[in-house]
Amino acid sequence: MTPQDRDLKKQLLVMKGEALRVKLRLEKERLLQPMRLAGSGFALWKEQGWLGAAMDALGKLLPNERLRRWLQGGARLWVVWRLLRRAWPR
């Protein structure tokens, strides 16, 4: 194998590694997209309405842990419903 062949093979391996890194980054972004949407949904939900602020305040004030968890679960369902409404408009 000549030095030119080795250099060519080395360049091809570097290009293959770069292509795999790009592919991995794109796949990671695709997998993280739903979590980003949910996170932005939580932020939008808290910013937009008095309902979010009221549930958040109630969750912090209530001493009962079970009721607090129930309110937080209801808040999550509210966010999912809003995300689905935005994803599939009428």
What pTM value is reported for the model? Answer: 0.38
pLDDT at 53: 64
Q: Looking up tokens 């001493």, which residue turns up?
A: 63
pLDDT-derived band at 43, boundaries 50, 70, 90 = low
pLDDT > 70: percent of the chain: 61
Among residues 15, 13, 82, 2, the alpha carbon closest in space to that of 48 is found at 82
Q: Which two tokens stand for residue 49?
A: 């309405």
Residue 83 has pLDDT above 60, yes or no: yes
